[in-house]
Structure 1
Amino acid sequence: MNLPRPILLASALFALAFQAASGPLPQANAQFSQPDMAQVRLGQLLFYDPILSGNKTVSCATCHHPRFATSDGVSLGLGDGGIGLGPARRSDPDNLPEQRIPRNAPALFNLGAEQFRTLFHDGRLEADDTDPMGFRTPLGGDMEQGFDGVLSAQTMFPVLSPDEMAGHYSENDVAQAVRQGFFTGPNGAWAILSARVAAIPEYQRRFAALDDTKSPLHFSDISNAIAAFMAFEWRADDSPFDQFLRNGTPLAPEAALGMELFYGKAECDVCHAGQFQTDHRFHAIGLPQIGPGKAARFERHKKDEGRMRVTGAPEDAYRFRTPSLRNVVQTAPYGHNGAFADLRAMVLHHLTPEASLRRYTKAQSLLPELAGAEDFTNLTDRGETDRIAAAIELAPVRLSDPEIDAILAFLDSLSDPASLEGRLGLPETVPSGLPVE
């Protein structure tokens, strides 16, 4: 059979890309558990229901909305005390936020895959088969029981955060419990939230229909349902790149060249490994410090030292978890603090990280207005910049503009339309009767 010349040319490019890669291409073999659709549909309602926030104004979707590819479209978001969604979100004059959320809202794609055993930018939640609960958290033994895994357990954290969902100090019963350090037990924040949900007849009925739900309702039951929904709704393993790996379906020529560079000369796969382009490890790449920093409120100098806040090891300073690159073209801004609103700028930062760090300007971020916010004080702290620069692990790489264009084309081939659209979508209403954002 004689193939048309364009197909022959494309086939030659793909063979060249495969052979030129510095290491083997990943396999498209990620493992996902079989969903319980009754639990998934229940989780969908809970994900979009503000009932899980202290002031009943913020849902999981506020910072992880499908309109913004399961993030919020800004460098650092506004949780409790904000109005609206994404870049249009603003302060509520009747409940002003105390500060921005200190880290960028990560995308939620493929978190149900078995490979994802470490979550959050600093990895403070990690699967651990030697632990009785199956994972480790900063809360240690001060935990509820019954979480299905790390994806379920991660929902514990936003509902306890004053800036994200809990609200501040004496604003509501959840905030008061958090302020006093009451998380578990009958007066704990999780019990308060569970009781709210259990008091709603529609939720009562749906939870009762699940075989493994205990009585009374526990926060882990809520978390397990939300996790089941996220794992189903945003499974993203059918991009053009996945199709190429599975059956050789050709990539566009420029994307094929970008794949060759990604797995070859540019050495992107040293950190962005595997089917979803993450080694699930922690690296210091010299991102500038913006926003309030991840520090205790009593600490005067706000900064974010990343993984070191979890391990205490000085060598982990300024290291952050390698993000997956699935749907990366749609998930701007980029970095643990969203320092770069433009994907090309983020790629360029990887090529010359120290130079990029030192010439960074605040115009490269995307921050909703917040009165009194001191977002860029660390940029003028020469000592802090020097410390970040000293920790950089990336060696400079020289690429031409056409090569950068090709890498961006390859990154676009990691987009999975079905996951971006979502499988269930937004519910019109939720059982609490509160507004769906």
Structure 2
Amino acid sequence: MVYLFRRHFLDHFLDRDRGVGVASDGAELVPEERADEVGSGQAEARFIVPADARLRAGVALHRRAEVPVEGADVVLFDTKPQRVHDADQFLGLGIARAGGGPEGGAGLFKAALLHQVARLFQIGQRGRGEHKRGGKGAKKRHVGLLCGLTLAAPAALAQPITAEDFIAFDADQARIGQLLFYDKILSGNRNISCGTCHHHDMGGTDGLSLGIGEGGVGLGPDRVPGDGADAIRKRIPRNAPALWNLGHKDVRVMFHDGRLEPSDLYGNGFDSPAEEWLPQGLGSLLAAQALFPMTAQFEMAGNTGENEVIGAVHDRIDLGWPILAKRVRTIPEYGEMFVAAFDHIETPGQVTIVEIGNALAAFIGTEWANYDSPYDDFVRDGTPLPAAAERGRQLFFGTAGCAQCHNGPLFTDQAFHAVGLPAFGPGRTRQWDPIPRDVGRMGATDDLEDAYRFRTPSLRNVTLTAPYGHNGVYADLRDMVRHMADPLAARAEWTPEKARLPDVPWLQEIDFVIQTDTLEMARQAAFLDLRPVTLSEGDVDDIVAFLEALTGKTALQRPLGRPETVPSGLPVD
């Protein structure tokens, strides 16, 4: 069947020397050059769409994302043989196994009209090579033009999350992590903890657009910037990321700009800002992530000259961690807990920042695991959603196009997209940039194509994590939905009142200075990966109702919660 399909269909439209991927048994890809060698009755011809491809509006996907095929235009695919990863997504072309539709229940796609393409052409190389900066592209991608596709059956639902999808963290280590998470001993000046900006009372965030870090006083929207020598010098440049389900095994990138990800580049398992100085032995991506706020000047480390931690960090990023580890292990209660929870630790003196990071990861990964939302019930056993949420679900996976990026079990493709959020605040850019802007992913890759692109956030429990966007630009979820439907119109209507920024008189001058730079505003508006979608106010309400259906029924009932006291004796926020 595949042989006939290739000979009588593909060969007429595609250059045979290039070929497309053929999936054998739904598990392994082989080159299209000799499709008749694939097991008879077991193969399906498919265009292969890499998980990290920037998909265009209207592209139909075969697996987890439910996207309409109306007006499908450009599809990227790899021709290199490879194993199929769960995150890869397939575009079926009407080839079905005997006795049923394509794997995953996505139904058949009928090619009503396929524009003839004389050849497939290479469209460039991107990615990191042997070194983080300036490496040659890791993949060659080709492009085919598709149009006039019609969907013959509804797309499959995302698979439900189960406990087996999460890293199995140790409960005793999680208990240590709970105490460390709220203990200000891990900050340079002993005046802020992880929990200050990721508090249980605010769904694991701080409720602010841009946080008030080291030097501030209070909690959440009531936090003030301090005064005198201890007053903050600038706001934290990005919104505090949500912590929900970061222990899921599919999570493969951290931070809004993706500057931390698994890699063998430096021999420690991660590509990170610490490069080769990140210590070995960190058990997860989450454990590595937990270390970096401790070294950030305006988050937890403090200002130059204020304490020994920030002084060491200014010499080299990893030199502050041993100081913090010594603070922790010399507190008797912590020392005893580490010896009991870690098999390789025989005395408190052996505790390093690695064990501290692993304990924090155990707490975060278990404390904010949550997958009992009404939508999960709908996927597992067909429990109907409320009428508005069901209409919103159909829009989300349909004409609104939300699922092009918010797909998979965590409702994120973990890729990077430019969505044109209005800019404000101190910005986060490359060194020596005179403009207080945030260039997003480009700051981590030095690739101009990544300018103003940010990681797609997960939408699970999104109603608990306002404000929204990498800079918390919208405090109202409806405003965020409106922006994603038509970014340029939303930018024109945005006012600072839509954000949530505590008043800091000495920072007012810089807070919105970027808005007066007309050239920079034009550049940011030009870097857009979204096409406008027409939504009525009723549609917006329905999509928000669906997003509310992604909130876990037990989301506010966490296993450990906030401790009343911590071993250091410092106050708990």
Instruction: Tell me what 1:146 maps to.
Output: 281
How far residue 137 of structure 1 moved from its aligned partner, in angstroms, is 0.6
Whole-Å separation in 2 of the counterparts to 1:81 and 1:98? 9
Instruction: Tell me what 1:120 maps to.
Output: 255
For residues 147-185 of structure 1, the C-alpha deviation after alignment (integer angstroms, 9 at most, x for no partner) is 11110000121000110000000101111112222x33x
For residues 75-114 of structure 1, the C-alpha deviation after alignment (integer angstroms, 9 at most, x for no partner) is 0011101000001000221401110000000110000001
Instruction: Tell me what 1:272 maps to.
Output: 406
Of 511, 518, 540, the residue aligned with 1:375 is: 511
How far residue 295 of structure 1 moved from its aligned partner, in angstroms, is 3.1
Whole-Å separation in 2 of the counterparts to 1:77 and 1:275? 29
Whole-Å separation in 1 of the counterparts to 2:180 and 2:371? 25
Instruction: Tell me what 2:157 maps to.
Output: 25
Residues 31-110 of structure 1 correspond to what in structure 2 (within 5 A)? 31-94=165-228, 95-110=230-245
For residues 103-128 of structure 1, the C-alpha deviation after alignment (integer angstroms, 9 at most, x for no partner) is 00011000000111101000000122
How far residue 360 of structure 1 moved from its aligned partner, in angstroms, is 1.8
Determine if the alignment matches structure 1 residue 399 to structure 2 residue 535. yes
Distance 1:160 1:303, change over 3 A: same
Instruction: Tell me what 2:569 maps to.
Output: 433
Give the letter aligned to residue 354 of structure 1: L
Whole-Å separation in 1 of the counterparts to 2:406 and 2:154? 13
Instruction: Tell me what 1:239 maps to.
Output: 373
Give the letter aligned to residue 328 of structure 2: V
Report if the CA contact (8 A) 2:181-2:195 is conserved: yes
Whole-Å separation in 2 of the counterparts to 1:418 and 1:220? 31
Residues 314-329 of structure 1 correspond to what in structure 2 (within 5 A)? 314-329=448-463
Distance 1:381 1:254, change over 3 A: same
Q: Whose Rg is larger?
A: 2
Give the letter aligned to residue 205 of structure 1: E
How far residue 248 of structure 1 moved from its aligned partner, in angstroms, is 1.2
Whole-Å separation in 2 of the counterparts to 1:259 and 1:342? 19
Give the letter aligned to residue 147 of structure 1: L
For residues 27-75 of structure 1, the C-alpha deviation after alignment (integer angstroms, 9 at most, x for no partner) is 0145112231111111100001000000001000010001111010010
Whole-Å separation in 2 of the counterparts to 1:274 and 1:190? 36
Give the letter aligned to residue 377 of structure 2: Q
How far residue 417 of structure 1 moved from its aligned partner, in angstroms, is 3.3
Report if the CA contact (8 A) 1:207-1:213 is conserved: no
Give the letter aligned to residue 355 of structure 2: D
How far residue 356 of structure 1 moved from its aligned partner, in angstroms, is 1.3
Instruction: Tell me what 1:206 maps to.
Output: 337
Structure 2: unaligned runs, 5 residues or longer: 1-105, 108-150
Report if the CA contact (8 A) 2:269-2:280 is conserved: no
Distance 1:296 1:83, change over 3 A: farther
- Normalising to structure 1: TM-score of the pair? 0.92
3-state secondary structure, aligned to 1:91: coil
Whole-Å separation in 1 of the counterparts to 2:343 and 2:527? 47
Of 320, 345, 361, the residue aligned with 2:479 is: 345
For residues 340-391 of structure 1, the C-alpha deviation after alignment (integer angstroms, 9 at most, x for no partner) is 1111000000111012123321111111122321111111211111111111
Report if the CA contact (8 A) 1:305-1:317 is conserved: yes
Whole-Å separation in 2 of the counterparts to 1:225 and 1:238? 25
Whole-Å separation in 1 of the counterparts to 2:290 and 2:311? 19
For residues 177-220 of structure 1, the C-alpha deviation after alignment (integer angstroms, 9 at most, x for no partner) is 12222x33xxx200000000011000000000123454521101
Report if the CA contact (8 A) 2:214-2:232 is conserved: yes
Report if the CA contact (8 A) 2:208-2:221 is conserved: yes
Distance 1:317 1:161, change over 3 A: same
Whole-Å separation in 2 of the counterparts to 1:26 and 1:351? 22
Whole-Å separation in 1 of the counterparts to 2:382 and 2:315? 57
Whole-Å separation in 1 of the counterparts to 2:470 and 2:342? 38
Of 303, 308, 314, the residue aligned with 2:437 is: 303
- How many residues align? The count is 416
- 226-235 or 240-249, which moves further after superposition? 240-249
Residues 249-268 of structure 1 correspond to what in structure 2 (within 5 A)? 249-268=383-402
CA RMSD of aligned residues (A): 1.7
3-state secondary structure, aligned to 2:380: helix
Distance 1:92 1:107, change over 3 A: same
- 77-86 or 237-246, which moves further after superposition? 237-246
Give the percent of matched residue pairs that are identical in Structure 1 and Structure 2. Answer: 48
Of 176, 190, 214, the residue aligned with 2:321 is: 190
3-state secondary structure, aligned to 1:421: coil
Determine if the alignment matches structure 1 residue 178 to structure 2 residue 313. yes
Whole-Å separation in 1 of the counterparts to 2:190 and 2:159? 43
Which structure exhibits the higher relative contact order, with contacts defined as CA atoms closer than 8 Å and separated by 6 or more residues? 1
Instruction: Tell me what 2:522 maps to.
Output: 386
Whole-Å separation in 2 of the counterparts to 1:368 and 1:212? 45
Determine if the alignment matches structure 1 residue 361 to structure 2 residue 492. no
For residues 239-295 of structure 1, the C-alpha deviation after alignment (integer angstroms, 9 at most, x for no partner) is 111111111122111111111110011110000001221000000000111110003
Instruction: Tell me what 1:292 maps to.
Output: 426
Which structure has the highest strand share of the two?
A: 2
Whole-Å separation in 1 of the counterparts to 2:198 and 2:367? 12
Whole-Å separation in 2 of the counterparts to 1:394 and 1:128? 30
Instruction: Tell me what 2:302 maps to.
Output: 167
Which structure has the highest helix share of the two?
A: 1
